[in-house]
Chain A
Amino acid sequence: MSARAASAACAAPAATAGWAGILAGVLALFVALPPLTVRSDALVVVLGALALAAGAAALRGGERKLGGAAILAGLLGAGLGYGAAHTATGGLEAAVSWGALGGATLRFACPLIFAALGGLVSERSGVVNIALEGMMLMGAFFAAYGADKTGSWVLGILIGMLAGAALAAVHAVFAISVRSDQIVSGTALNFVALGLTGYMYVDVYGADGTPNDLPQVPEVHLPTSSLGFAGNSIDDQNLLVWVSLVMVVAVWVFVFRTRAGLRMRSVGENPRAAETVGISVQRTRYLAVIASGALAALGGAFLSIGSVHSFTQNMTAGKGFIALAALIFGRWRPFGLLAATLLFGFSSALAQRLPQLTPGAENVATLLQALPYVLTLVAVAGVIGRSIPPKADGVPYKREG
């Protein structure tokens, strides 16, 4: 690795700039963290700016990937470093207790993983799904409602998934059969889900909120706390967190290693070609969109009966769109989106933990919440290589005569 880096550095000044930029970006964060704990904005900002400049130079020199990575490192390093530099040193050490941070990262990532996987299945079949948010919300409410009425979290999850699938089925009808604009239909369903879950919530639970004895998805206790921070991160995780990780692998196998997955991808890339070899475009898309709703709803179920054990109105609060961002940032690939959700989850975990420990400078950490969106902007703009969606994504398909 380093040998390759070195040879690249010798080969081209642009590459050198790129690597230097990455290094500067990493340093920007590093100096602000224990053990160095530099308390000066200037150093962090200067390092970050250096990284950006080097990245820009690398980009101009034609090193697209390296340059993009340097810019990314600069943004991340400066942002995180700035936040860290504004944090009391003692608090910082506690906040950066890596085990807790790792655990929180997984918890934040879990619902995003489910929803982004849902998005992946739908968009790989050629149907844009910006109703992930609404489908999550359906899952969140109906899982809580189902668990409450049946007294079983398993049934709660199933009911939640059914509700998400039902909303997705509406999206499917409009996007596939009616050939509505998929963005419009998705936007509409986000409204519908928000209103419908809110309505039912008020109607059923009123001012009291969901009951305190709501059945919950159990935690899985692992005897790993002695294994350093990695062990600490995973020793007390919700069952659904594990399911989400398994699901990443399962979706990957399905999409890239099975017959149905191959067909689904062909439908998303070139539906007419798929039809000429006898694959039903409509059927494939219907199944994919409905599955997508069930998956996203699973993410919502985690929010209500896996994580906070209650439902509140609009509790997804934009998570569906972060999932969409993760899907794009992860380039429509299961492991890509896993990496993206972990990154986004990490930034949320930091944002959540930093202010607790640093009274007076809480709000700097809020900026971390914007990170997923900014990174996705950078990604679609093609600074770090282009994110290219499936070719027929969002294009309604019509059989001829």
Chain B
Amino acid sequence: MTPPALQLSAITKRFGAVAANDGVDFELRRGEIHALLGENGAGKSTLMNIVYGMLTPDAGEIRVGGEPVTIGSPRQAMKLGIGMVFQHFMLVDVMTVAENVVLGAEPTKGALLDSRAAVARVRELAGRHGLSVDPDAVVEDITVGQQQRVEILRALDRGADILVLDEPTAVLTAQETAELMTVLRGLRDKGTSIVFISHKLSEVRAIADRVTVLRRGRTVGTVEVAGPNPPDEAELARLMVGRDVLLRVEKAACRPAAPLLDVRDLEADDDRGLRAVDGVSFDVRGGEIVAIAGVDGNGQRELVEAVCDLRAPVAGKVTVGGKDVTGRGARHARDCGLGHIAEDRQRSGLVLDFTLSENLALRDVDRRTRFGLLSPRRMLARATDLLAEFDVRGGGPQAAARSLSGGNQQKVVIAREIAAGPRVLVAAQPTRGLDVGAIEFVHRRLVAERDAGRAILLLSLELDEVRNLADRILVIFEGRIVGELPPTATEEQLGLLMLGGGGATSARASAA
């Protein structure tokens, strides 16, 4: 029997006090697609970065083809036939596809680069594996899906027979995902062993031969998917999150009042100047939670930014409590009663180097002044109250926000936004990366604010969360609202809409 292509035993890696990997075992057979499944932060990327020599493990053994090895650098990994496609692509944007593929193993003619040979090599490789890209195109001009191909090509160019893909579908459209699956199956059938990292159950079931589940840095188990009795999604989910289902939030029936947030024909561009929000209209009434569901990258981020006036809309109108806030700047929107729980709390939600008391004053510092000067005493007093009310732990009002755990940081953001007494609260991925306890806190709080009569717009990539919290679900696809569903809708119904299929027209009528 041939030894496994890759075998990891008892791999441990710590970052400070966090054990990102804690005695992980993993085995990749030759010629299989092996999914590595786990929630955000479970340690998947860390494990594979160790395999690729980007990180050095604190303990554990790696065998490649049965031989124990130490992998100190990507160069060594490549020598061992390991290739990796990173979650954030490792490409040089201003260079051509061919240059990116051959980088590190460039063909030369005499002292000079042989770019013609490079192009030929890339073309041949792309043809062989059915990965069409233009070798002469500049990377920043091609689509994300094509960029991913460049990464795959580069790994193959180095002769990789073990290919690791870190969340390869997170950035792809449905069409591109399907194409990627085909390519990967083709590679497997030619003998490449593939590690496919994901936290999406359906994908894993569709492509993997086996699945290894990681939870909080430990291996939970490995199951056959391609075998005779494959596990269903519920079973995988249980392995992944370690409990049956997400706790349902207790909530009373929704009693919607007058619309507080009204978005009309909103259009906005993304950072590259491409239309990301394409004529979106909806409203949110006081006392209801409206969720926007969709696959990541369908314009959610731009929609939130446009609504909160952090991104100038191209067209359309946003009103908060009847006041037009379009394009008047974030401060104006906030003064009109808009609260915003930012998607990336560490980047946009908090000033990490400020104290909690300073962070809590971010929205309304002008109301904390005396004789035109800030009053630290007042700021502290108020912070002390808010930290108690929102049960923030890990530091007093003088502690730097940086020193708090993610869940507590999020509580600070929520405390600040709610304390300002907004009429409309926009919550973008409010539970991303939080532990169960913190998730529950956030959910309860959002429902409580709904019951207090605020209009809540929720953006989430987690379908469970959407169905749990929302009173109405709007599905966004390629920058448009393609349908509205009740929270009782099944995952299949939602999924179909999210991928752009069916039912759009009738649903849209009711959304308007």
Chain A residues close to B by CB (< 8 Å): 253, 257-259, 261-263, 265-266, 269-270, 272-279, 391, 400-401
Contact = CB atoms under 8 A, between A and B. Distances in A.
The 9 closest A-B pairs by CB, nearest first: A277-B104, A278-B75, A273-B90, A401-B55, A276-B90, A269-B92, A259-B106, A266-B92, A276-B74
Contacts of B158: 277
A30 to B, nearest CB: 39
B73 A278 contact: yes
Given A257-B113, A259-B106, A262-B106, A276 B56 contact: no
A235 B509 CA distance: 82
5 contacts: A261-B113, A274-B104, A278-B78, A391-B94, A400-B49
Contacts of A279: 103-104
Contacts of A274: 92, 103-104
Nearest to A277: B104
Contacts of B15: 401
A262 B113 contact: yes
Interface in B92-106: 92-95, 99, 103-106
B5 interface: no
A265 B112 contact: no
A276 B54 contact: yes
Nearest to B78: A278
Contact of B92 (A265, A275, A400): A265
A265 B95 CA distance: 9
B74 A275 contact: yes
A273 B55 contact: no
Nearest to A400: B55
Nearest to B49: A400
A273 B92 CA distance: 7
A270 B93 contact: yes
Contact of A277 (B49, B113, B154): B154
Interface string B65-77: 0000000011100
Nearest to A272: B90
Contacts, number: 73
Contacts of B390: none
B91 interface: yes
B113 A259 contact: yes
Contacts of B92: 265-266, 269-270, 273-274
A276 B84 contact: yes
B49 A266 contact: no
Interface of A is mostly: helix
Contacts of B113: 257-259, 261-262
B95 A269 contact: yes
B152 to A, nearest CB: 13
Given A262-B99, A279-B104, A401 B90 contact: no
B52 A276 contact: yes
Given A257-B113, A276-B74, A266 B95 contact: yes
A262 B111 CA distance: 13
B296 to A, nearest CB: 22
A262 B54 CA distance: 22
Nearest to B90: A273
A401 B74 contact: no
Contacts of B49: 400
A278 B104 contact: yes
Looking at B52, B93, B113, the one whose CB has the most chain A CB atoms below 10 A away is B113
A277 B89 CA distance: 12
A257 B112 contact: yes
Nearest to A275: B74
Contacts of B84: 276
